[in-house]
Structure 1
Amino acid sequence: MKVICNGLDLAQAVMKVSKALSQRTPNPILENIKLTAQNDTLRLIATDLELTIEDTIRADVEMEGETLVNGRFFAEYTRKMTQGQIELNLTDGNLFKIRYQDSASDVRTQNVDEYPAIHEIDQSIFFSMPQKEFRDLINKVVFSVAEDDVRPILQGVLFEIEDKTITAVALDGYRLARCQKSLDDASASMSMIVPARSLEEVVKLLDEGNQTVTVFRQRNLLKIDIGSAKVMTRLLEGDFINYKQILPNEFLTEVTINKKQFEDSLERASLLTRHTKSNQVRLDLKGTIMQISSDADFASINEKVAIKLEGKDIFIAFNVRFLTEALKVINEDFVKLKFNQPESPCVITSVGDGDYLFLILPIRVKG
């Protein structure tokens, strides 16, 4: 194997695929990136058997072949070599030589035959949409997945596809986020639960443009094509919570508030809540004013924000982090807060954008 390629192209491709390298594994072979030189291209693959990322770059292939190289080292090394051409050469003695300007490195390789086979999946079941819309869909829900593994199914995001509409749902027992988007195309109705970790890596590969991302599904595997990169992930198996039963249909109180003013006040209140166990912020909604308060042993904060209230006044408390994380992903100027009782969930939606809904459980206020 002998290849000459652009240093920046290689560094970017290595950085993409290295996100799938196994962090902790009893199998050292998974610490490697597989390189395959063929037909004027260099293909790079990394996997931990749950998540696989592949990228392909153009290259001058003088001799075809394949090899393994330690992924962490290769990522750090190529990151420092972006201003010219790089030569990669595998000798007969399985020594991988990297040449860049006046720099040279010789790397011992492992047996490429021991690397797990990455199989292509059937492409008959799929959906597609603009990259920026898929990115927004993921970002609006993925932060609400469960952080612990008590219920592994809640560490994934539910995708439901029907009538060229995709619905994404994530919940952790304290909050729920739901987002809906239109699809460019979909081969069939389907439902799947995608690991949050995989989606977090997918987001890093998506851009803000209108280029298409296509997602293929075969049994318990999902493949996502993003330009030259491909991401493959195993789906989570099991039944997701029936989230539709959780969502209230009617409300006693509806409040419209400027999102930035609300968010800024919550950020200031959080300066104190971070010193408490419950991370609690209290909202007192009366007439045209919402009073926001928080306290710690050494200080207290009280703020007032103008609101438009329809229905009954209410006093309620929440984990301030859950509120601010929901507001950060809303792109509209105003949001609606919908309440029933101080012990009942609150629903947050944006004004003018019906694709997003966030539900949050309150914290019981003593006294």
Structure 2
Amino acid sequence: MKITVDRDVLAEAVAWVARSLPNRPSVPILKGLLIRAQDDTVYMSSFDYETSAKITVNAQVDEEGEALVSGKLLSEIARSLPGRPVRISTAANHAELICGSARFTLQTLPVEDYPNLPQMPSATGTVDSEEFAQAVTQVVVAAGRDELLPVFTGVRMEINDDRLSLLATDRYRMALRELNWNPTSSQLDASALVPARVLAETARSMSSGEKVTLALASAVDAEGLIGFLGEGAAGSRELTTRLLDGEFPKVRHLMDIRPSLTVRVRTAEIIDSVKRVSLVAERNTPLRMLIEDDRVALDAATGDQAQASEAVEAVVDRIDPASQIEAVGCNPHYLSDALSALDTAFVQFAFTAPGKPCLVQGVDELDAAPRTDYKHVIMLMRLPS
């Protein structure tokens, strides 16, 4: 194999594929990154039996062939190269990489021992890449990180005709984002539980193109696989990942909150206030939100060592005059994540009672209806008596 490729294209392509490589591969061969040159195209791929990544880039191919090299090492080398064309050639059991006066020799791994990439499922539909990336970012903040509870580390993707819903929860918060998309067939009804980490990286890295194609294996295939196709800075990208097993909890009903009290504040102001007051919040203790007639006051403390408080102007609507809500407690990190996911000038908090779930929604104008495409629910913490 002999190829010549632009340095920036190589560095971006290798870095994207190498992100899917396992840190502790079950077998040494899985640390490899496969390079295959054919016609005027170079394909780079990785696979760890769970997630596969493949990128296609244009290059000058003087001699077709393929080689398997250490993906992490190649990524570090490509990133460090000067801004000149890169020549890669293979011979016997090694690959040689030349860029200007820089020269590297890498030992190759046996290609015949490398597993075949899974077949990409048939396309299910397409979605605007930027909107999809934003939706995923808004939802994955609520996904769990505990690998001992894998069902909570995923994002439930629900397809109902031309409506695509993303839902995540770690049991203490929930996020739901709904958006329109273009299915390949009408009256499509399907669902999948996608690993949140993989989904977040995929959506972010495929935002250069106009559309992202989703390819969900049908129930008949029983592959338990989902694929994504899109464009990145260095070329077209394909990724597949195995779906998570387990029954995702039924939490949608928790989004249907009928509040007894709502509070509206400027999003930027409350974000800054939460960040400042949270600096003195003790671990696992709530950030208190004191609700008054025309403002909310935040306070937190670390025992007797440090205290902080700050008030933010607000519009308070006591829908139920009998409501006795005067103060609520929030996990400051969860509250900050929910607020940072919004892209509206104002935010509305909808409360039913202290210690009950709180619904957070974006509001474009102070007197406008809250947006319904994105909902974030935080389980409130009990305040010490």
Query: What TM-score do the two structures reach when normalised by structure 2?
Result: 0.91
| Structure 2 counterparts to residues 147-166 of structure 1, below 5 A | 147-166=145-164
Give the 3-state SS of the residue equivalent to 1:322 in structure 2: helix
Amino acid at match of 1:314: E
Deviates more, 1:304-313 or 1:109-118: 304-313
Aligned to 1:323: 335
Once residues 352 and 14 of structure 2 are traced to their aligned partners in structure 1, the CA distance between those partners, rounded to angstroms, is: 51
Give the 3-state SS of the residue equivalent to 1:264 in structure 2: helix
Shift of 1:32: 0.8
Once residues 351 and 245 of structure 1 are traced to their aligned partners in structure 2, the CA distance between those partners, rounded to angstroms, is: 21
1:8 and 1:81 in contact (8 A); partners too: no
Deviates more, 1:321-330 or 1:52-61: 52-61
Aligned to 1:283: 289
Do structure 1's residue 110 and structure 2's residue 109 form an aligned pair? yes
Deviates more, 1:179-188 or 1:194-203: 179-188
| Structure 2 counterparts to residues 1-367 of structure 1, below 5 A | 1-91=1-91, 93-123=92-122, 125-187=123-185, 188-207=188-207, 211-218=210-217, 219-227=223-231, 228-273=236-281, 276-296=282-302, 297-311=304-318, 312=323, 313-352=325-364, 353-367=371-385
Give the 3-state SS of the residue equivalent to 2:271 in structure 1: helix
**Residues 211-230 of structure 1: per-residue CA shift (max 9 Å, x gap):** 01101011411110112011
Deviates more, 1:76-85 or 1:283-292: 76-85
Once residues 306 and 47 of structure 1 are traced to their aligned partners in structure 2, the CA distance between those partners, rounded to angstroms, is: 52
Shift of 1:129: 1.0
Shift of 1:346: 0.5
**Residues 147-200 of structure 1: per-residue CA shift (max 9 Å, x gap):** 112321110000111131111010001000111111133432210010012112
1:153 and 1:240 in contact (8 A); partners too: yes
1:164 and 1:186 in contact (8 A); partners too: no
Once residues 244 and 149 of structure 2 are traced to their aligned partners in structure 1, the CA distance between those partners, rounded to angstroms, is: 11
Once residues 48 and 279 of structure 1 are traced to their aligned partners in structure 2, the CA distance between those partners, rounded to angstroms, is: 40
1:345 and 1:362 in contact (8 A); partners too: yes
Give the 3-state SS of the residue equivalent to 2:25 in structure 1: coil
Once residues 177 and 256 of structure 2 are traced to their aligned partners in structure 1, the CA distance between those partners, rounded to angstroms, is: 16
**What is the RMSD computed on CA atoms of the aligned residues?**
1.4
Show structure 1 runs of 5+ residues with no match: none
**Residues 252-299 of structure 1: per-residue CA shift (max 9 Å, x gap):** 1111111111111111111101xx121421011121121111111322
**Residues 17-55 of structure 1: per-residue CA shift (max 9 Å, x gap):** 010111112301111100001111110001222111111
Give the 3-state SS of the residue equivalent to 2:273 in structure 1: helix
1:314 and 1:341 in contact (8 A); partners too: no
Show structure 2 runs of 5+ residues with no match: 218-222, 365-370
Amino acid at match of 1:57: V
Once residues 238 and 204 of structure 1 are traced to their aligned partners in structure 2, the CA distance between those partners, rounded to angstroms, is: 26
Give the 3-state SS of the residue equivalent to 1:119 in structure 2: coil
Query: What TM-score do the two structures reach when normalised by structure 1?
Result: 0.95
Once residues 121 and 52 of structure 2 are traced to their aligned partners in structure 1, the CA distance between those partners, rounded to angstroms, is: 16
Deviates more, 1:78-87 or 1:329-338: 78-87
* Count of residues in correspondence between the two structures: 362
Give the 3-state SS of the residue equivalent to 2:343 in structure 1: coil
1:153 and 1:238 in contact (8 A); partners too: yes
Runs of 4+ with deviation above 6 angstroms: none
